[in-house]
Amino acid sequence: MPYLTTADGAEIFYKDWGTGQPIIFSHGWPLNSDAWDVEMKLAADNGFRAIAHDRRGHGRSTSTYTGNDMDTYAADLAALVDALNLTDIILVGHSTGGGEVVRFAAQHGAGRVVKIATAGAVPPVMVKSDTNPEGTPIEVFDSIRAGVLADRSQFYQDLSAQFFGTNREGSTISQGQRDQFWRQGMQVGLAAAYDCVKAFSETDFTEDLKALDVPIFIAQGADDQIVPIDDAAMKSINLVKNGTLKVYPGAPHGIAGSYQQELDKDLLEFWLS
């Protein structure tokens, strides 16, 4: 299995499928690169080189105690791009991964990144503050940290309902899909799972979004119970120079079911355009 060793010694696992223009996929919390397998196959089947990594502390990458912050995540991605000598890059990020690709593109991707797509992404900033009064109260994120510490196995099982919207009438998401979320969550190191909550909720990506000058496709489900759309996609689209927004009626945060089918069609169209 391919690994990259970062400057601080962390080993980052990655998948590398197909040939052609590279598309890098960045996963959400508490998942890993397996979350993107369907989209990676879609990309590779259509003439692209699909690459996805397990963020440090997640999946098969080193279970790190330090470096579980957005600047380090972006630096790790930059190290992977350097190691593979990638150019003409398309970035795709979900949730926390949306923040990671936005920061990478703004701070490391000049001249290399040509397109960005995000889905249910955390930018511009999630937590409520004096400058972001519409944000999510810090107590919500404190409760996530408490759940991770107290009984993360049960916490991930419970969280999967909101993640995929199975608590909504008419949901067709399977128990297997929820089990897959739990399986990936249980592969995250405790320190990384805990610290990443701060990374995805308190990092301010406003200036990163403003700095982007490449086309960016911003997608989000209208019924996202994890990242509130009014404080995410609806704000981000007004901060980027060359953005397209698509809202999926009734769709949840997790990419699955009919939402995944529709989103994947739109992603492929964006990649090929």
Q: Which of the residues are catalytic?
A: 95, 224, 253
Closest to 196 (Cα-Cα) out of 76, 22, 36, 25: 76
Q: Phi first, then psi: what are they for 98, rounded to 5°? A: -65, -40
| Residue 64 burial (CB count, 10 A) | 22
| Residue 244 burial (CB count, 10 A) | 14
- Measured CA to CA in angstroms, residue 8 lies from 3, 27, 65, 140, 219 at distances of 14, 22, 12, 32, 34
CB contact set of 75 (below 8 Å; sequence gap of 6+): 6, 7, 108
- With beta carbons less than 8 A apart as the criterion, state whether 96 and 200 touch: yes
Q: What distance in Å separates the CA atoms of residue 94 and residue 101, rounded to the nearest whole number?
A: 9
Q: What distance in Å separates the CA atoms of residue 53 and residue 107, rounded to the nearest whole number?
A: 19
- Can you read off the two tokens belonging to residue 37? 């397998």
Burial (0-12, 13-18, 19+ Cβ within 10 Å), 233 = buried
